[in-house]
Amino acid sequence: MELWFSEYQTKNTKLSFRVKEVLYTKQSKFQNISVIETEDFGRVLALDDTVMLTTKDEFVYHEMISHVPLLTHGNASRVLVIGGGDGGTIREILKHPVKEAHLVEIDREVIETSKEYFPSVSCGLSDPRVKIFCEDGIEFVKKNKGYDIVIIDSTDPIGPAVGLFSEEFYKDVFLALNENGIMVAQTETPILFGDLIKRIYNDMSSVFHYTNLYSAVIPTYPGAFWTFTMGSKTINPISHETSVEPFFKTKYYNKKLHRSYFILPPFVKDIISE
Ligand code: SAM
């Protein structure tokens, strides 16, 4: 018998993985959590049947959402991650000389599942520099300040994540950031969700002095061509020469390519400038 796991990337497009084994599935207070062993992409973490990560390509997303802002900043000491309960972003942040990394994940069960089934991803969560808060990131940033970097490692703008894609939230993040602070959010694919990207870009631009998109190729996310949007208070990531050479090994991020990540194909430029 053939067993397949499919994600509806849109109403009309599915991405399917041949399943070796379904390892875990549970309905938490917030979402359905599944862990599936697949033939080609290793272990998959899915929330409400949407792929969060695969062990085959998670390094692209986690390196790019972390190293680009941290190396642009160059001197980050306190970092906040909102969402990101799998721990992949924290794992990458800890490769930098940060003093504190805070994780605010609304669903404790995502953290527990990742610790159990994705040890290579969640490995940083027990580091003494990490503090975990199981609460809503939208409320958290209203009360907690003094971060050099805030990373929004969220699910798509559905359910509890809707407010993480709003101008009000970006204003609160701005206030939670230190003087040279930088925020980055995962902002979906321009192949399918140009309207969303344009709205996020406009909202962030009305709050931050510099707003820039950068991109990466993530095969298991819709459209494969993925964007991140960076809001920066004082550092212009386009003209800024990253001064810090990563002193750790990377698989996707490359310092020589750092500035080129911000060079957008014309169709993406059109989306944000129209
Ligand atoms: N890399 C992933 C992606 O783009 O598919 C995101 C992975 S991470 C598991 C996303 C996490 O965001 C989920 O575990 C979800 O529970 C969390 N989340 C959603 N809304 C949130 C909120 N308002 N506050 C804190 N965490 C939230």
State whether 154 and 247 are in the same domain: yes
Cβ(71) – ligand 1 distance below 6 Å? no
List all residues 6 or more positions away from 193 whose beta carbon is below 8 Å from its beta carbon: 222, 223
State whether 231 and 131 are in the same domain: yes
Task: Look up the pTM and report it.
Answer: 0.97
pLDDT for 243 equals: 62
The tens digit of pLDDT for each residue in 140-178 reads: 999 999 999 999 999 999 999 999 999 999 999 999 999
pLDDT for 266 equals: 98
State whether 108 and 84 are in the same domain: yes
CATH of residue 260's domain is: 3.40.50.150
State whether 37 and 136 are in the same domain: no
State whether 18 and 94 are in the same domain: no
State whether 45 and 63 are in the same domain: no
Residues of the chain with pLDDT under 50: none
Cα of 28 vs centre of ligand 1, distance in Å, is 13
Range of the domain at 20: 4-52
What is the atom index within ligand 1 of the atom nearest the CA of 86?
Answer: 9
Cα of 81 vs centre of ligand 1, distance in Å, is 10
Any idea of the CA torsion for 91, 95, 99, 104, to the nearest 10 degrees? -20
State whether 106 and 137 are in the same domain: yes
pLDDT for 20 equals: 98
Length of the chain: 274
Burial 30-41 (b: 16+ CB within 10 A, else e): bbebbbbbbeeb
Pocket-testing residue among 60, 105, 229, ligand 1, by greatest number of atoms within 8 A of Cβ: 105
Q: Whose CA is nearest to atom 3 of ligand 1?
A: 52
pLDDT for 27 equals: 98
Exposed / middle / buried, residue 10 (Cβ in 10 Å: 0-12, 13-18, 19+): exposed
Cα of 271 vs centre of ligand 1, distance in Å, is 25
Split into its structural domains, the chain has a count of 2
CATH of residue 22's domain is: 2.30.140.10
State whether 109 and 239 are in the same domain: yes
State whether 214 and 98 are in the same domain: yes
